[in-house]
Amino acid sequence: MAFYDDRKFLLSHIHHSFITCDDTGMCEMAMLNELVTDKALCQGDDNRPELKILDYYAESDLLEAGQSYDIVSGMGFIGGHRHRSNTAQRLEKLKKDRQNQAKITHIQWKDCPTNLSEQDLSQLFPKKDLNKPKENKQPVKSALSEALELFPAAPNNPFGEYARFDGRVNRSAPSKKILIYMTMLPTAERNYGMEVICLSSARVLDLIGLICWMYTNEGKEPKLKPSVNNYCLKIAEETGEVDEDFPSLDTNEFVGKFGFPFLALIERETKESSLLVTLYIEDEPIKFDVSTLNLSLREVAELASHRVSVRKSNAYHIEKIEEPGVAIPLDSKLSSFPSLVFRLIFEDDAKERMQREFETDEYDAHMKAVEAPLYRSFNVTLNQKMGMNYDVQLGISGEKVEINPLPPKGAAKLLSRQQKPATLYMDIIAACEIVSKKYNPGKCIFKLIYQLNQEFKKYVFETDPSTAQDIVKKVQIILEMRSTNACKEFQLYRERKLQRKAMKSQISVSKGSMSRS
């Protein structure tokens, strides 16, 4: 314990103690200007007893000792290291020099005491005869060349183009392992499946080609037909028994979509089995079966119109999916195409005529710009590509469109899951259109297109024709009044799409003319 009789030092010590021990910082703000210097004490009033006491201890040696420097952390010792001295660096350099010297051998050159004769020099350093002919050595053959010579040439595999879908070659790509049962094998060998590893990005048609390629490489009998269109895949049990209750897998679907561990390869019988034709109308696929490949594209379009109730119109053409913009003659047969996937395109005048049929004088009289922004609800059905359709209440006002799911009825309560409501503001809605086809008689389909993250998406609804007309016209009038950026961008997107199609058609026509010439 230490005793101090210097009052001024004690005051300074207490001042610093309060400042350093206070975490809030309030003491430092309150006591910042309380220290009085010697000059201030001398200029003060002598009648004040406090100043007299402080002036008596003004010349204190301990006061200067109480004023210390600010505490600063030594950053050189935090997270760093001390610099090495010159002595340590010099010793390390000497150590490395000794290690390098140990690896070097010094040989002292000495002159030969005796002169060697020419005979001794010829023995020590013999001369090579360059005029001597070289010996003909047999060429070296690799193990692969010897193996190819031992075995005869392998027969040509007509399914070689499908070998690139083998998942055993590329281990990093996602793949699926499936056990395939070959129904064309004898009964004794039919129950043993063939393990196939196929890329998930391949289609079912590519999987069939890969199976045929592996089957042909193994040299099994009987031999397969040279076309993959003669075979199809069906669901099978673990024992190899084919499940005839389910249809064959769609050849245009991806393999990664299915999760069946066992499949069976079956030879397709053209007379008895049906062929699947896919026809895209307004970007919606229509799939139906045909019994023969001798049908023309015009007959296929008529079958599609009967199935989906497309309005009769002669102003249309059919084109391939992989060749957009190139019209195909309607008298062409299905047998002349390797793929049975097409697209039906209506001409522009036919589209305008169908749209004008929805706009009648009676409808325009009831739907006015004043009534369009008022709130109104409609009960419609929301169509989904994957999953079940469910009923919703569509509420439309001048500011937004609300989609509220209705409670399911009957057995749908057990099969469907609870859907979430959605709200679309008018600022992001781009268009509302009626689709020119309907799946069920007496029903009409319309789509609501909106913009989300610079992409255009859509909701597809189904209801009766009169309700669909009311909804579409109501939304169109609201969009015309607001004139949002989403509508303008969607119109530009459509124009660019039409320009690309026109350019592709021109390029294809020019290529065809060059090939004819």
Residue range 160-267 forms a domain whose CATH class is alpha beta
**Percentage of residues of the chain with pLDDT beyond 70:** 72
What's the chain's average pLDDT? Answer: 76
pLDDT 10s digits, 378-416: 999 888 776 677 889 999 988 899 999 888 765 455 555
- Angstrom distance (rounded) from CA 202 to CA 164: 10
The winner for highest mean pLDDT among 45-59, 83-97, 279-293, 500-514 is: 83-97
For residues 350 and 242, the model is more confident at: 242
Q: Are 415 and 432 in contact (CB under 8 A)?
A: no
Strand 262-267, strand 175-182: pairing: parallel
- Domain positions in the chain are 160-267, 275-348, 370-408+418-499
Q: Are 159 and 212 in contact (CB under 8 A)?
A: yes
Please tell me whether the peptide bond between 113 and the residue prior to it is cis, using omega within 30 degrees of 0. no
- Angstrom distance (rounded) from CA 318 to CA 316: 7
Lowest-confidence pick of 30-34, 220-224, 329-333: 30-34
- Asked if the model's pLDDT at residue 202 lies above 60, the reply is yes
Place of tokens 């109308």: 281
- Angstrom distance (rounded) from CA 237 to CA 251: 20
- Please indicate, yes or no, whether the overall pTM of this predicted structure exceeds 0.85: no
pLDDT at 95: 93
- For residue 166, give both structure tokens: 């083998």
Q: Are 382 and 392 in contact (CB under 8 A)?
A: yes
- Angstrom distance (rounded) from CA 387 to CA 376: 28
Q: What is the H or E stretch that residue 448 is in?
A: strand 444-452
Average pLDDT over residues 197-216: 92
* Cβ neighbours of 9 (radius 10 Å): 18
pLDDT-derived band at 65 (thresholds 50, 70, 90) equals very low
Residue range 370-408+418-499 forms a domain whose CATH class is mainly beta
* Cβ neighbours of 448 (radius 10 Å): 22
- Angstrom distance (rounded) from CA 228 to CA 246: 21
Could you name the CATH architecture of 275-348? Roll (3.10)
Same fold across 160-267 and 370-408+418-499: no
pLDDT at 54: 43
